[in-house]
Structure 1
Amino acid sequence: MSVVDLREVPDFTANPYPYYAKLRAEGPVHTIRTDGLDHRIWLIVGYEEARAALADQRFGKNWRLSDSWAVSSNPINANMLEMDGPEHARLRKLVSREFTPRRIEALRPRVEQITGELLDAMVPAGSADLVDALAFPLPMTVICELIGVPDLDRDRFRQLSNAIVAPVSRETESEAVHAMGAYLDELIEDKRCAPGEDLMSALIQARDEAGDRLSSEELVGMAFLLLVAGHETTVNLISNGVRALLDHPEQLALLRVEPELIAGAVEEMLRYDGPIENATFRFTREAVRVGSHIIPAGEPVLVALASADRDPGRYPDPDTFDIRREAQGHLAFGHGMHYCLGAPLARMEGRIAVRALLDRCPGLVRDPDGGQPDWLPGMLIRGVRTLPVRW
């Protein structure tokens, strides 16, 4: 199998979908090289194969089990997204009670209030960068209040988060990882000294039936995952979703006429141009057959969620954005034991934000003076840094 160098594909970051379609037509799995990584990566692009891989425990998330994958250890890596089996289950159990449907629904009035306040500040100006004005501050405020860090330095945190999930180089990523670890360690120590009725205080005090409790590194890892995953996904769900509506005015008009379609519209936004392009790395615990190829043990694997959700074998006419489509079954939030814990919260925030935005800004269009999109680099997060709009 030849190795495809994605660095040689023009405009891949701006629009990877035609190239994913070409890869899918040639087979469900390929080997690639991409920026910042010296070795080959296996890329799974077909829907059925992607769904199966996400639930297959032969594809582990613990990079420490791969002899070929050298990653400097940092407390932020002690999170459940990078763990398997009992370790993952133990950590997930500690926070899952905060993300039940009942708990999420109880947050609705506060999410609506925050959205309204952000729009109150934004609408009189007649134009805005939608990322700065709504898509970022809404989920960031919600997750900070849930965790118990409302005074978080959000500008600093946003810089570090972006440098980790959408790095421009390995050096800047490494620097951000170490800075983030130190930043969160200090935040947790402050919370330890002044606990409250919030999730982070509960995690600091939590013990299981055997008296076990989270280590200092595990607390940093949990804070990192909750804060980063708790806002990055929703930021780009909102901004990508609004971009899709603005690029398809007939669908925008339909949603204005039938606002009750918002739930299905958000699912189609997630399928059509979701916030996560590829799931985080997995590593083969043993040799695994995918299609006609065998991936050897210890190899790094990416599951291309963006490609899987445009597979015509699963979704007819997949490159068409259709808010009436039955988009259920998409993989935008993953699948299997690592399915996104915060998916119900992200869905609720997306529905509330988009519907309120359309209600308050009936003339919403792209700002013609906004320039070309500034795409987030890398293959993890799919989105733009800014979204200039006016109304």
Structure 2
Amino acid sequence: MDGASIIEQLMTTEGRFDPYPLYARAHELGAAVPAGPGAVLVVGHAAANQVLRNPAFALEDTKSLAADHAELFAHPSIELFGRSILQRNAPDHGRVRSLIASAFNARRVAALRPAIEATVERLLDELADRGSDGSPVDFMDAFAFRLPVEVICELLGVPAADRHRFRGLASDLTIALELIQDLGELAAADLAAEELSAYLAELTAERLARPTDDLVSELVRIAADSADRISGEELLSNLALLLVAGFETTTNLLGNGLALLFRHPEAAEGLRTGALDPSLFTDEVLRYDSPVQVTSRISTAPDLAVAGLPTPTGTVVFTMLGAANHDPARYPRPDRFDPTRTDSQPLSFGGGSHFCLGSQLARLEADIAVPALLDRFPRLAPGGVPTRRDRLVLRGYETLPVTVR
């Protein structure tokens, strides 16, 4: 099996369901392997880290897409993400990211701890009520989705009455982040992009007229004071990114983590007793079953190489974060779930200038929520067969039934 056939297999339902055997085969071929004409598959941890940190490996941003794939811009979902920092290169990326980071900073995230703890307790109360008769409850719907959406909406200032709308919108919109093979697959993502953009336009107009103590108000104020540095469309696109990314990856982190605890009860017991550091557990979940599996770059210089493999200008570099996190050259026994690992440094949140802005918030939510969940429900157990989402880039569960009594 070569790099091209591995990618081909990863694009199937079976490959997406469990990509790790395919990653193991890729590791046997090398840290970076050819994957067909003009494409390279990067699976080594050091090699992936090199790509993420070298700005010469650029994102395929709106400028390059407009030149080579103009038809994509008939799709609102592509336009929406294309205007966000997720898909911008320097200097636009730094120009906009610095403004967002000035408001979405470590102090603001740390100040959310009491709100996160209160939301966790309220959701656990509701979970107890829903499962009080012993019937299964879908953990993804009742907790893993609701916690991060409540937290990011509280941070942004989205009214409580509107928050129920965002799970479906996010699920549909993030189709545009997958490695799609048919542009017809973007239909649901386009509708979601239009609805979310319209909603955020109304919200920002409201906050401009009547500001409150929330992140949207702060970003609207910054945008008004820095109109030469961020446009209105860029503001809306980045607010959409914060909203969607603010709970999509955290939802998957919580679901993937609980599924692993069911398979490793000794880890659950360690978290209950305090013998296991929650932050180490979170790191190992991120490493072992990353919520984000793939990102891609384009080589922009003729003499670039990855792990000794030439990547001349225009080469598409598929950077397999999930595979890098299972690199046997970096992690002893990489296919063993071991939440006592130290110095793990998984690449799940990316690296370099595009390191995820919300990583600290995602970790904080998981570090608080998982021990509280286990403490509240000592007999928490699987309540049925879970179902995986049929996605490659964003990996998580669609349903995860549990019993709490």
TM-score by length of 1: 0.89
In structure 1, C-alpha distance between the alignment counterparts of 2:328 and 2:48, rounded to whole Å: 14
Q: Secondary structure at the match of 1:310?
A: coil
Residue correspondence of structure 1 range 169-180 to structure 2 within 5 A: 169-180=185-196
CA 1:8 to 1:333, structure 2 compared with 1: closer, same or farther past 3 Å? closer
For the pair 1:282 / 2:297, whether they are aligned, the reply is yes
Contact preservation (8 Å) 2:283, 2:345 = no
Shift of 1:358: 0.3
Q: Deviations over 1:37-95 (max 9, x none)?
A: xx975331111110000001011124222544453162442111111223211211112
In structure 2, C-alpha distance between the alignment counterparts of 1:295 and 1:379, rounded to whole Å: 24
Residue of structure 2 in register with 1:340 after alignment: 356
Q: Which moved more, 1:163-172 or 1:247-256?
A: 163-172
Q: Which has the higher helix share?
A: 2
1:122 to 111, 127, 132: 127
CA 1:375 to 1:89, structure 2 compared with 1: closer, same or farther past 3 Å? same
For the pair 1:314 / 2:330, whether they are aligned, the reply is yes
Q: Deviations over 1:253-291 (max 9, x none)?
A: 233233552111111111111211113x32222233123
Shift of 1:175: 3.7
Paired positions, count: 382
Contact preservation (8 Å) 2:103, 2:219 = no
Residue of structure 2 in register with 1:150 after alignment: 159
Shift of 1:210: 6.9
In structure 2, C-alpha distance between the alignment counterparts of 1:95 and 1:256, rounded to whole Å: 37
In structure 2, C-alpha distance between the alignment counterparts of 1:125 and 1:327, rounded to whole Å: 39
2:93 to 88, 91, 95: 88
AA aligned to 2:64 is L
Shift of 1:156: 3.0
Contact preservation (8 Å) 1:376, 1:383 = yes
AA aligned to 1:18 is P
Residue of structure 1 in register with 2:19 after alignment: 16
CA 1:8 to 1:270, structure 2 compared with 1: closer, same or farther past 3 Å? closer
Residue of structure 2 in register with 1:3 after alignment: 4
In structure 1, C-alpha distance between the alignment counterparts of 2:123 and 2:225, rounded to whole Å: 43
AA aligned to 1:262 is P
In structure 2, C-alpha distance between the alignment counterparts of 1:177 and 1:103, rounded to whole Å: 27
Residue of structure 2 in register with 1:383 after alignment: 396
For the pair 1:46 / 2:44, whether they are aligned, the reply is yes
CA 1:238 to 1:151, structure 2 compared with 1: closer, same or farther past 3 Å? same
Unaligned runs of 5+ in 2: none
Shift of 1:234: 0.8
Residue of structure 2 in register with 1:36 after alignment: none
For the pair 1:364 / 2:377, whether they are aligned, the reply is no
Contact preservation (8 Å) 2:282, 2:367 = yes
Residue correspondence of structure 1 range 106-117 to structure 2 within 5 A: 106-117=111-122
Residue of structure 1 in register with 2:29 after alignment: 26
In structure 2, C-alpha distance between the alignment counterparts of 1:20 and 1:2, rounded to whole Å: 10
CA 1:106 to 1:123, structure 2 compared with 1: closer, same or farther past 3 Å? same
AA aligned to 1:158 is R
Residue correspondence of structure 1 range 54-69 to structure 2 within 5 A: 54-63=52-61, 64-66=63-65, 67-69=67-69
In structure 2, C-alpha distance between the alignment counterparts of 1:97 and 1:385, rounded to whole Å: 34
Contact preservation (8 Å) 2:145, 2:167 = no
Q: Which moved more, 1:156-165 or 1:92-101?
A: 92-101
AA aligned to 2:142 is A
In structure 2, C-alpha distance between the alignment counterparts of 1:216 and 1:208, rounded to whole Å: 9
CA 1:311 to 1:378, structure 2 compared with 1: closer, same or farther past 3 Å? same
1:326 to 325, 342, 346: 342
Percent identity of equivalent pairs: 37
In structure 2, C-alpha distance between the alignment counterparts of 1:364 and 1:319, rounded to whole Å: 25
In structure 1, C-alpha distance between the alignment counterparts of 2:100 and 2:33, rounded to whole Å: 36
In structure 1, C-alpha distance between the alignment counterparts of 2:269 and 2:223, rounded to whole Å: 52
Q: Deviations over 1:346-365 (max 9, x none)?
A: 11100111010000010111
Q: Which moved more, 1:353-362 or 1:24-33?
A: 24-33
Q: Secondary structure at the match of 1:195?
A: coil
In structure 2, C-alpha distance between the alignment counterparts of 1:208 and 1:90, rounded to whole Å: 15
Residue of structure 2 in register with 1:225 after alignment: 241
In structure 2, C-alpha distance between the alignment counterparts of 1:303 and 1:294, rounded to whole Å: 15
In structure 1, C-alpha distance between the alignment counterparts of 2:29 and 2:308, rounded to whole Å: 11
TM-score by length of 2: 0.86
Shift of 1:152: 6.1
Shift of 1:209: 8.2
Q: Secondary structure at the match of 2:285?
A: helix
CA 1:247 to 1:214, structure 2 compared with 1: closer, same or farther past 3 Å? same
Unaligned runs of 5+ in 1: 34-38
Q: Deviations over 1:175-201 (max 9, x none)?
A: 433443334333333433432221111
Shift of 1:239: 0.8
The root-mean-square deviation of aligned C-alpha atoms, in Å, is: 2.5
In structure 1, C-alpha distance between the alignment counterparts of 2:198 and 2:311, rounded to whole Å: 37
Contact preservation (8 Å) 1:365, 1:389 = yes
In structure 1, C-alpha distance between the alignment counterparts of 2:137 and 2:164, rounded to whole Å: 18
Q: Secondary structure at the match of 2:399?
A: coil
Q: Deviations over 1:304-348 (max 9, x none)?
A: 111000101001001111111115321111111111111111111
CA 1:202 to 1:209, structure 2 compared with 1: closer, same or farther past 3 Å? closer
